[in-house]
Amino acid sequence: MKKGIGIAVPEVIERKIILLRGQKVILDSHIAELYGVETNDLKRAVRRNKERFPDDFMLQLTVEEYGSLRRQFGALKRGEHSKYLPVAFTEQGIAMLSGVLRSRRAVLVNIEIMRAFVRLREILATHKDLAQKLEELEQKYESHDRKINAVFEAIRQLMAPPNAPKRRIGFDVEESKVVYRVSKGR
């Protein structure tokens, strides 16, 4: 928390943002903690203003998702949370919460949460750019590698001993022995 106003630092907020069903969300218990209210009070305020929270603003976790979060992240520990399945708020749902919870702290926390979502989007965009550049480099070097491998293969073929015996170039002259006979007496 920041000194003085008691608002969570951006790093704390960013750690509470999780990916669920392909969307970045924050669980109701984490938002309640950041706002300094009870989770039940937060849920009650949302139920009273249900028309402000369509399905794409607020997701009800399934039993499988709830169990997965407990196992994978340790985010939800048995006995420390409500017996009801948690709700997760998207960025738009969190923005809508500022109209439902009107305390000064809620407004300040909401501003910080919105900034955290923006930072995460910027980081993801940077990562996408880096990933694209890396892929371009890989493709470039793959073509270079293929060309270099072709050069090495040509050199290997030149260095390899020939398979067929070499034929001599030129004329073959066979020297034959000429036998001269010398006869006696004539």
The predicted pLDDT at position 36 comes to 86
CA distance 80 to 25: 20
The predicted pLDDT at position 3 comes to 40
Structural domains present in the chain: 10-124 (3.10.260)
The predicted pLDDT at position 4 comes to 40
The structure tokens listed for 54 are 């369509």
Question: How far is C-alpha 57 from the geometric centre of its chain's CA atoms?
Answer: 24
The predicted pLDDT at position 153 comes to 83
Nearest to 32 by CA among 113, 92, 152: 113
Would you give the end-to-end CA distance of the chain in angstroms? 137
The structure tokens listed for 55 are 């399905």
Residue that is written with structure tokens 């009070």 in the block = 41
Which tens digits make up the pLDDT trace of 77-95? 555 555 778 899 998 998 8
The predicted pLDDT at position 6 comes to 54
Write out residues in the chain with pLDDT < 70, as ranges: 1-8, 72-82, 162, 164-186
Instruction: Name every residue whose Cβ is closer than 8 Å to that of residue 12 and which is 6 or more positions away in sequence.
Output: 1
The predicted pLDDT at position 89 comes to 92
CA distance 69 to 63: 10
Strands (E), 34-78: 58-60
Nearest to 69 by CA among 26, 39, 113, 117: 26
The predicted pLDDT at position 2 comes to 42
CA distance 127 to 69: 25
pTM (global) more than 0.85: no
Residue 90 contacts residue 53 (beta carbons within 8 Å): no
